Amino acid sequence: MHANDVITTKISCQEDTAQADSAFFVPAPKELGKIYSKFSSLTNQHETATFFQRELLAVGGGVIVFIIGIWLTNSYEPFSNLPVPMVFTTLLSLFVGVSIWFDTGTDQYCEYVGQKGLAQFRKSGFSNQIKTRMLLFDQVTTLSRSYTSNIKPDHFIIPAINEEISSFTWCDIDGEERFVISGVNTHKDDSAPPLEQYLFGCVAEKAWTRHLINLSSNALVSGKAISFPLPQSNGILSIGAKKLQYQSGNNIISWPTKETSSLFRSHEYMILTKKGEKGKSEDMEIGPIDIMGLCNERFFFSILELFTGLKMHALRTELPSKNKKHLDRVTNLPDKSLFHDRLEVALTHHQRNTNKLLVIIVELNNLVFINHTLGHKSGTVAVQTISERLKQKVRQVDTVARLEGIEFGVILSEFKSAKNIDKFLKGLKAYLEEPIEFENNVIEPDIIVGHSYYPDESDDVDFLIRKARMRTYCVKYRDLFHLKVARGKQCK
């Protein structure tokens, strides 16, 4: 059974419990197809506690203001003798408190993200009326994502950082808005509705990307180029298995896809680097390419990463601190910079001793579903558990690192036989996918593993990482999007 199927099974088991507890629940519409992720605001104990606290604060605050107002005036006089402004103020305070409790304190959500679309059901206050919003992916053609934050415009991180508002807007072929999700990612309250809406948008965006990739399956399997218009610059960027091409006005730049050595982006623009020939030419930067207003951007970057074997990185203007420890703050593992350095040292050591080395890339592929269904804390526990399990499967002389949000890297020194690779990786995947129990929930990790082997495949650090990463992409798109991408040479 696939990990996403397992999550769906766990959710269905919780639905019966939720109904038994009189929690807010609406069955998933059949039009959505297979359900990838589901969230109910009252099935999470932390969410229930948060709403209860809001109720106490809202009503209790109004009562306290009322009592203080009477005491400040004259508690011995009858209520009818109090000054009119004071009576008006205290009654208004009570009204505001009750209104907050009625309007937001009892908001209940039930959301589904499925293979064919998404739906949201909302019940406010004491009313039995349920507001329904549903979108089928066949009804729309583009998804635009906008950001508003207090950070520098050239600093971009996925997922969003503190106090960033993300809006996900789906439009039809005529450009009319059909569905909008807006959420604030504060990283402070794991069960606050703004954060829940942000996670709902992230999951919906991933499901939409799956839909687009399935529609483009023939082009992807054959390696044909897919063109993306760039609205702000009136340019076009074409991405193919063999060639990348950027057109801006009358200027056209094209180069082999495999020669792309790095991908960087900010809110406003992107820079690609073309690797120069050894000893003949220097690396060439292509850009900045204006990507403001780019539609279906996750689909765009997924295809770009699939064909190049690279990861998109944040573009920063500030230099890293000299005292930085290069450790991931969640797992305390080495970061991608330290991983790269250790791989260079390991290759130098193995070249002297003619030993072999295995590079492994591990992806926790369903982290966004875990965050949306069970909360950010569950996602953090999943990441930490995977990191601990990886460390348990390797020796102290080997390296385990967290490269990106969902991606880990492993360096296994002195891996003697290539014949044992498949057996080892299958055992590793099975171990990492064992269920994780946390706060009465069961987390089912969906793990994707890719590898590269020194010296049989290459002695270049960047190529080894790219090759291992490419194999994870091939498994991801083959299994999740039902594509036979593995036919391509890059997947062998």
pLDDT in tens, 308-346: 888 876 554 444 445 456 788 888 899 888 999 999 988
Percent of the chain with pLDDT over 70: 68
Q: Would you say residue 250 has pLDDT above 70?
A: yes
Q: Would you say residue 150 has pLDDT above 50?
A: no
Kindly indicate the confidence band of residue 73, based on its pLDDT and cuts at 50, 70 and 90. low
Q: Would you say residue 173 has pLDDT above 70?
A: yes
Q: Of 75-89, 360-374, 400-414, 438-452, where does mean pLDDT reach its minimum?
A: 75-89
Average of per-residue pLDDT across 133-156: 74
Q: What is the 3-state secondary structure (H, E, C) of the chain?
A: CCHHHHHHHHHHHHHHHHHHCCCCCCCCCHHHCCEEEEEECCCCHHHHHHHHHHHHHHHHHHHHHHHHHHHHHCCCCCHHHCCHHHHHHHHHHHHHHHHHHHHHHCCEEEEEEECCEEEEEEECCCCCCEEEEEEEHHHCCEEEEEEECCCCCCCCCCCCCCCEEEEEEEECCCCCEEEEEEEEECCCCCCCHHHHHHHHHHHHHHHHHHHHHHHCHHHHHHCCCEEEEECCCCEEEEECCCEEEEEECCEEEEEEHHHEEEEEECCCEEEEEECCCCCCCCCEEEEEEECCCCCCHHHHHHHHHHHHCCCEEECCCCCCCCCCCCECCCCCCECHHHHHHHHHHHHHHHHHHCCCEEEEEEEECCHHHHHHHHCHHHHHHHHHHHHHHHHHHCCCCCEEEECCCCEEEEEEECCCCHHHHHHHHHHHHHHHCCCEEECCEEECCCEEEEEEEECCCCCCHHHHHHHHHHHHHHHHHHHHCCCCHHHCHHHC
Strands 226-230 and 142-148 come out as unpaired
Q: Where is pLDDT greater, at 344 or 104? A: 344
State if pTM tops 0.85.
Answer: no
Q: Would you say residue 3 has pLDDT above 50?
A: no
CATH 1.10.1740, applies to 219-314 = no
User: Do 219-314 and 3-41+107-215 have the same topology in CATH?
Assistant: yes
What kind of fold does domain 336-491 have according to CATH?
Answer: Alpha-Beta Plaits (3.30.70)
Q: Where is pLDDT greater, at 329 or 136? A: 136
Give the phi and the psi of residue 150 in degrees, each rounded to 5: -100, 20
Q: Where is pLDDT greater, at 352 or 45? A: 352
What pLDDT does residue 214 have?
86
User: Which residues neighbour 360 within 8 Å (Cβ) at sequence distance 6 or greater?
Assistant: 409, 410, 411, 412, 425, 428, 449, 450, 451, 468
Kindly indicate the confidence band of residue 432, based on its pLDDT and cuts at 50, 70 and 90. very high
Average of per-residue pLDDT across 19-40: 78
What pLDDT does residue 2 have?
37
> Is residue 194 a contact partner of residue 184, using CB atoms and an 8 Å limit?
yes
Give me the residue spans of the domains in the chain: 3-41+107-215, 47-105, 219-314, 336-491
Average of per-residue pLDDT across 254-274: 84
What pLDDT does residue 47 have?
39
Average of per-residue pLDDT across 288-307: 87
Average of per-residue pLDDT across 92-98: 64
Kindly indicate the confidence band of residue 81, based on its pLDDT and cuts at 50, 70 and 90. low
Percent of the chain with pLDDT over 90: 22
What kind of fold does domain 3-41+107-215 have according to CATH?
Answer: PH-domain like (2.30.29)
